[in-house]
Amino acid sequence: RKEVEQDPGPFNVPEGATVAFNCTYSNSASQSFFWYRQDCRKEPKLLMSVYSSGNEDGRFTAQLNRASQYISLLIRDSKLSDSATYLCVVNIARGSTLGRLYFGRGTQLTVWP
Amino acid sequence: DAGVTQSPTHLIKTRGQQVTLRCSPKSGHDTVSWYQQALGQGPQFIFQYYEEEERQRGNFPDRFSGHQFPNYSSELNVNALLLGDSALYLCASSSYRDGANVLTFGAGSRLTVL
């Protein structure tokens, strides 16, 4: 079983739409959670961290449910520039501060005009 | 402030050959991690170097090896290349003090094995 499971999509939505991505993780010892964004043929870049209390950054809202081992990302008022692959990421630090990141396979989003 | 730089950006090899990829971490970072990203997949952790030692390793065969130099730069070596080694190889740097949570990725080296 993979550490992080994501629906690969693709999601195709019009500008202005609200879209939600979900992922699940298998290791209950996971410590930190993130969403990364990856544009076509580019490197992943941190979009936002995810906290148990939920957190928001402009049009982006991330939620974490530790009991269900479930992470979500909500994008409101989608823009053309939001078109990218969104990677769900967890850090399982096993007794060391040098944790390693586990990436989901990513969910592809295309926003059309 | 230079970010993470990787070289070469693209390369083509044939089966059985060996390849060396290079990475210079972001200024102020002392930890380097390498990831392999196959087409349509998320990055997979290969290994991580800190203080010139391999600190953690993912599920990759011994054909994959690495090195970290005193200036924190790093190399990834892959021997006896297989077709399945074709992928984007990403180097990510971080500061030990921050753990591996805050990663800065380089643009990657795209390896094609024929």
Residue A93: which residues within 8 A CB-CB, separation 6 or more?
A31, A32, A99, A100, B99, B100
pLDDT of residue A97: 53
Buried b / exposed e along A66-83 (16+ C-beta atoms within 10 A): eeebebbbbbeebeeebb
pLDDT of residue B21: 98
pLDDT of residue B19: 98
Interface test with B, best of A100, A103, A105, A107 (most B CBs within 10 A): A100
Q: Are B103 and B43 in contact (CB under 8 A)?
A: no
Give the count of alpha carbons within 13 A of B3, CB side only: 11
| Maximum C-alpha span of chain B | 41
pLDDT of residue A7: 87
- Residue keyed to tokens 């059985």: B16
B59 C-beta neighbours (distance < 10 Å), count? 7
pLDDT of residue A98: 63
Give the count of alpha carbons within 13 A of A19, CB side only: 23
Please give the structure tokens belonging to residue B32.
């380097």
pLDDT of residue B93: 93
pLDDT of residue B92: 94
- Answer yes or no: do B100 and A91 touch at CB < 8 A: yes
State whether residue B52 is helix, strand or coil. coil
**Nearest beta carbon to residue B101 from set A45, A96, A99:** A99
pLDDT along chain B (114 residues), means of 10: 89 97 95 95 94 93 97 97 98 79 90 97
Segments of chain A with pLDDT less than 50: 95
